Amino acid sequence: MTKLTIKFLFIALISSLLISSCKRVEKQNQTNETIRVGVFDKNGDSPWCIIDAIEALQIDPNMEAEMVRASQIMSGELDNFDAIVFPGGSGRGETQSLGDAGMEKLVKMVKEQGKAVVGICAGAYIMTKTPDYPSLDLNGCEAIDIEHDHRGHALSKFSLTKEGKEIFPELKDRKISFCQYYEGPVLVPAKSGAKFIELATMLSDVHTVEGAPANMTNNRPFVVAAQVGKGRVASFVGHPECTPGMRWMLPRIVRWTCDRELVSYPKNVVRPDFFKNEIIYTKEINDLQSKYHKQLTGTRAEKLEGIEKVIELACWSSKKWIPGMLRDKDAMVRVKASWALIQLERTDAIPDLEVAVLTEKDKNVKIELEKNLKALKGILGTNS
């Protein structure tokens, strides 16, 4: 038997194990177990990526998510957690925060204790085995073309593989789905180490920054998973946790890495039709986004249009602007902003909307705000 044949048989075996170990998607709330998830904070970098991950995880009624630091990994405190999520931000910053000892301990936690790990964008970078890049060698991939890391952004197209449809059956009948991409790694199989299973393939060619080569991101792995020793790991090249309609993909993959039941999530968060087209953030699109961002501080008509357009164009930074509009002097703008929070699934703005309801003097506006507050809370796994 040739080495190549052995390699293919090994990959087929791993693929079979991944599929057979996927428990069918059960109805939400059928299980009572608590899944503790730590979202890594390398010391305050990219707070939005951390917030997005924590809020997305809370879609699952059985998940408790909180920020964790490298010191907690070293102290053994994270031994009591089921999974660790490394969010977007800076891959080098995250591994620098871990340090050599933290990186070694984390790898042992996966291989020997069966700790589950999920990486998003920068977090996917650090899970690779990439030459001259501080990485953990966990997901069986190597990142290439890192000299053009700042290649651009997109609401990217992706398609699921057969294995991906087992974990995300809600998307099994879709040829194309959409997810935010923000300069994530270009992945290829590592020359040695774990063997990964490709769960989804990126279909968008993103190279809007001068000097970035074409045909680098398309037809590359977009979501990958691997069995590493006793543990499971998964990596997202893009950002499902901040993509309206797709944020549920993060708690779902965490359940898979923890080998827990793959419970279903309600229709108010499983909304794959929310976006219908790819958006490559060219200069023209970026100029449009800037235009509509400026309208958020314009006249009433400009604000109302701006709110709709920043959602339509999948503006990355719209989440920063909308909550403040709950305090606009115009009642129509306040109501529109509360509606926008539901569309964007900005559950981190629940306290803002609660106060808006409390302080609203117009009876009819208060009714609308209360209705939207209930809907926003309904995105979480609990209405508390």
pTM: 0.91
Amino acid 18: pLDDT: 52
For residue 194, the tally of other CB atoms under 10 A from its CB is 20
pLDDT tens-digit readout, 37-74 = 999 887 656 788 899 999 999 999 999 999 998 888 88
DSSP-assigned states of every residue in 340-361:
HHHHHT-GGGHHHHHHHHHH--
Amino acid 4: pLDDT: 42
Q: Which H or E element spans position 155?
A: strand 153-160
The token pair at 21 is 């170990």
Amino acid 3: pLDDT: 43
Cβ-in-10-Å burial (0-12, 13-18, 19+) of 41 comes to: buried
Amino acid 28: pLDDT: 53
Q: Is 78 helix (H, G, I), strand (E, B) or coil?
A: helix
Amino acid 45: pLDDT: 63
Q: Is 100 helix (H, G, I), strand (E, B) or coil?
A: helix
The token pair at 8 is 């293919």
pLDDT tens-digit readout, 69-92 = 888 888 988 889 999 999 987 767
Q: Find out whether 125 and 49 touch, Cβ atoms under 8 Å.
A: no
The token pair at 56 is 């997305």
Amino acid 71: pLDDT: 87
User: Which ranges of the chain have pLDDT less than 50?
Assistant: 1-13, 17, 19-21, 383-384
**Greatest CA span in the chain, whole angstroms?**
78
DSSP-assigned states of every residue in 365-377:
HHHHHHHHHHHHH
pLDDT tens-digit readout, 132-184 = 888 888 998 989 998 888 999 999 999 999 999 999 999 999 999 999 999 99
In angstroms, rounded to a whole number, what is the distance separating the alpha carbons of residues 162 and 187? Answer: 19
In angstroms, rounded to a whole number, what is the distance separating the alpha carbons of residues 23 and 231? Answer: 17
Helix axes 283-295, 300-312, angle to 10 degrees: 140
Residues 6+ apart with CB under 8 A from 187: 124, 128, 141, 142, 143, 144, 220, 221, 224, 235, 237
Q: Could you tell me the sign of the dihedral formed by the alpha carbons of 107, 124, 135, 46, in that order?
A: negative
| CA triple 165-225-197, angle to 5 deg | 70
Amino acid 40: pLDDT: 87
